[in-house]
Structure 1
Amino acid sequence: MADDRTPVTRQALLDMMVTVRKTHILRAGVELGVFDILASGTSTAEAVAGKLGTDPRATRVLLNALAAIGLLDATDGGYLLAPGADTLLVADSPEYYGHAFRLAASDYEWDALRHLPEAVRTGGTVVDDNAESPDFGYWLDFAVAGTGNTQPMADLIAEEVTTWAAGRDTLDVLDVACGHGLYGFTIAQRDPRARVWSLDWPNVLSITAANAERLGVTDRSAQIPGDMFTAPLGGPYDVIAVTNVLHHFSHERAVELLARMRGALKPDGRLVTVAITHAGGPPAEDPVPHLFAVLMLAWTHSGEVTSAEEVAEIVAEAGFDTPSQHSLPHIPLRTFIADRRNES
């Protein structure tokens, strides 16, 4: 019987090994502002170096590397932006995407993943500064930048929540592990009744507050500093959002967290949770969640990316009805919305 699987080759392995170089070449181009300089047109390495205040020879090496990976075109007259780079890599473009490197290629990830073999041996993170640390600097970057997936999911949630809450007298929202706060604040922007309590580490909440002011909802927002497993929650709330944290914990710990939130909901309240999930099929057909799961292994004590089915089980075990599931094309996040189950 013929084996029609794609074989592993030396070239394929080498391509994986040198990908780190491409990442750092892109990061250097963004940090130095190379793409902004070339936005005005073709330029030589010497001219680019003069505007950036960099070494001419080293600048030429970087520009050639950026051309080698397809971000610039090299011509007899110098260098110019490749198609699309003017839209995605020039800082004043409305579709600028260069800021994503702060999260997708962060030093925090590099430092943790260097210890991946040891994490596999021991079963979890071996670095002291990890995703569960109160002062983890990554969360500040996350709160400032978010990701390209954040606002689309926040809009989806706000639409679902405000439609459901149309006949309610109040719309009090607890945003747990809020970070940037956009999930709760987008609801507040959509519905003038909404009041939002943002729970996160104290160092993160200063950025959350700045976002509340930028979005015009400061007068309807409050803060709860502390650990989501121990901080006083207040309430009861109409809606509690627990976003992008379930993959940090084991199944049992995730159930514990959501059960705690159930206790702070009104009897007819709703839970909203957002999680990265996989489809349950072969990993090669859905690679992004499985690659992210490796980061969770290196970055947390028991975190893992699970299937959508298991997240639904976690929600049910925590005392909620079977959740509805919502997703958007090309975004590896899934939203689960469930009513509080009231035991007779």
Structure 2
Amino acid sequence: MATGDSQQSHPDRAQIKTLTRYTDLANRQALYHVLRLARSCGVFDVLERGPCTVETLATSCDVDLATMRALVYLLCHLEVVEQYGDDIALAAVMRLRSDMNPDFGQTQWERLVGPAGGECVVRKCGTLEQAQRTVRGRMFEREWTLTPSALELARVLEMGSQRRGLEILDWGCGTGIWGLTLAHRDVQANVTMVDWLEPIETVKGMAESIGIAERVTCVAGKFSEVDLPEERFDLVLLANHLHLMSPSSWAPLLERIGTFLKVGGEVAVVDIFEGQQEGDLSRNVLALELSLEHPEFQICPPTMLQEQLIANRFGKPRFSHLEVPPYLFGVMLAAKEPA
């Protein structure tokens, strides 16, 4: 039986919990540098050519064998590589790396808060327009990851069944993932894509690749200068814009979009909204990233958007989460009412 003195010699549960959390935090910091080390010494580049043994990997990367064994163990823990017998191979998630984002955002965060090992300083923001171009450009690079959300949007809108044969306008379409997905789901729909020249060229290629180019009209130019027919469209898609705008600028944007809609036509505002617990971490990381880019950027408050749509003479808005990874997006739908 333990005596009172021996009981006091052991840390209590609160101390153990605190120490465990400290160790966990230190390990998380170490794992970040594990990824950096693996990238810098060429581990991922070697494995992209095919599986190999730890010995071959160490030789190819000019790293001693003991260091490589420890590194591979930690990379397996991170689930970025996998071990099959004696062979090491890239995990499927690493196939999602792109030439534009090979470091999973490291370069972006160093731009915002400074490089690892240096002084962490929140940099001064540029103009709102400069920040918008920066963030939208980065969004284009990874917009292909939103395919599940775009497919879920098509399901929620019941494209091809409840909504069929629509004239769709995708305003600020980016690479086209949202509007092209809707048009692909509804084989009778036509879609007009509006954005700068660079993303529009991407849209044209995507439309060709999925076989709907004959139903896609592309318009390149500044949003303020694009000339489109009034009351032409049944559905206007506004995706991933409001969190890059001051709420004070929502009203004129919705006013202009309303001129393109037929009476009874609908605006579908797709944006990042709170409410999906699975996406809480990703959403708050994004919220920090946005606020560092420009103080006017913020996650879209749904009640504020509802009020603005009604103020812009749209009918009662309806909202639905897009309940698929990354669990960030929702759609607010409202119909244009008669003047």
Q: What TM-score comes out, normalization by structure 2 length?
A: 0.74
Q: 2:53 aligns to what?
A: 43
From 182, 191, 198, give the equivalent of 2:193: 198
Residue 171 (structure 1) aligns with: 166
Structure 2 vs 1, CA of residues 10 and 320 (structure 1 numbering), >3 Å: closer, same or farther?
same
- C-alpha deviations, 1:267-288, integer Å up to 9, x for none? 111111211112399xx99332
SS at match of 1:118: coil
Q: Contact between 2:31 and 2:74, CA under 8 Å: does it hold in 1? A: no
1:340 to 312, 329, 336: 336
**Alpha-carbon distance in 2 for matches of 1:31, 1:126:** 35
* Structure-2 separation of matches of 1:224 and 1:294: 33
> Residues 264 and 14 of structure 1: is their aligned pair in 2 closer, same or farther, counting only changes over 3 Å?
same
Matches within 5 A, 1:1-344: 10-11=22-23, 13-15=25-27, 17-18=29-30, 20-25=32-37, 32-34=45-47, 36-38=49-51, 43-45=53-55, 47-48=56-57, 54-57=60-63, 61=67, 64-69=70-75, 70=77, 71-72=80-81, 79-81=87-89, 86-89=91-94, 91=95, 97-99=96-98, 101-102=101-102, 104-105=104-105, 107-114=107-114, 117-118=121-122, 125-126=125-126, 130-133=130-133, 137-142=137-142, 146-147=144-145, 150-159=146-155, 160=157, 161-166=159-164, 170-235=165-230, 236-279=232-275, 286-300=280-294, 302-321=296-315, 322-330=317-325, 331-343=327-339
CA offsets 1:220-251 (integer angstroms, 9 cap, x no match)? 11222233344334452111111112111122
Amino acid at match of 1:32: D
**Whole-angstrom distance in 1 between the partners of 2:181 and 2:214:** 14
Quick one: structure 1 residues 158 and 106, their matched pair in 2 at CA, closer, same or farther if it must change by over 3 Å?
A: farther
Answer whether contact 1:102 1:141 (CA < 8 A) is retained: no
Measure the CA separation in 2 of the matches of 1:103 and 1:72.
15
Provide the aligned C-alpha RMSD in A. 3.8
Cα distance, 1:335 vs structure 2: 1.6
The farther-off stretch of 201-210 and 256-265 is: 256-265
Whichever residue aligns with residue 57 of structure 1, its letter is: V
CA shift digits 1:150-179 (9 cap, x unpaired): 22222222231433333xxx5211112212
Deviation at 1:106, TM superposition (A): 6.0
Distance (Å, rounded) in 2 between the aligned partners of 1:290 and 1:274: 18
1:179 & 1:58 partners in 2: Cα distance? 46
Cross-structure match for 1:94: none
The residue type paired with residue 71 of structure 2 is A
Cα pair 1:238 1:266 within 8 Å, conserved: yes
1:72 touches 1:80 (CA, 8 Å); kept in 2? yes
Q: 1:266 to 1:60 in 2, by over 3 A?
A: farther
Identity %: 17
CA contact (8 A) 2:153 2:322 kept: no
- Give 2:50's aligned amino acid: I
Cα contact 1:72–1:79 (8 A) shared by 2: no
In the aligned structure 2, how far is the partner of 1:269 from the partner of 1:30? 53
Using a 3 Å threshold, how does the CA distance of structure 1 residues 31 and 206 change in structure 2: closer, same or farther?
Answer: farther
Larger CA Rg, structure 1 vs 2: 2
SS of alignment partner, residue 174 of structure 2? coil
- Paired residues in the alignment total 309
Structure 2: unaligned runs, 5 residues or longer: 1-13
Runs of 5+ unmatched residues, structure 1: 92-96
User: Cα deviation per residue 1:274-310 (whole Å; 9 max; x = unaligned)?
Assistant: 11112399xx993322221111112245111134333
**4+ runs deviating over 6 angstroms:** none
**Paired residue secondary structure (2:132):** coil
Give the counterpart letter for 1:193 in structure 2.
Q
Query: CA offset at residue 22 of structure 1?
Result: 4.4
Please say if residues 251 and 312 of structure 2, whose CA atoms lie closer than 8 Å, have aligned partners that are also in contact: yes
**Amino acid paired to 1:133:** R
AA of the residue aligned to 2:253: L
Q: Are the equivalent residues in 2 in contact too, given 1:25–1:66 (CA < 8 A)?
A: no
Alpha carbons of structure 1 residues 301 and 286: separation in structure 2 relative to 1, 3 Å: closer
Report the 3-state secondary structure (helix = DSSP H, G, I; strand = E; otherwise coil) of the residue aligned with 1:286: helix
SS in 1 for 2:289: helix
SS across alignment from 1:57: coil
State which drifts further: 156-165 or 103-112: 103-112
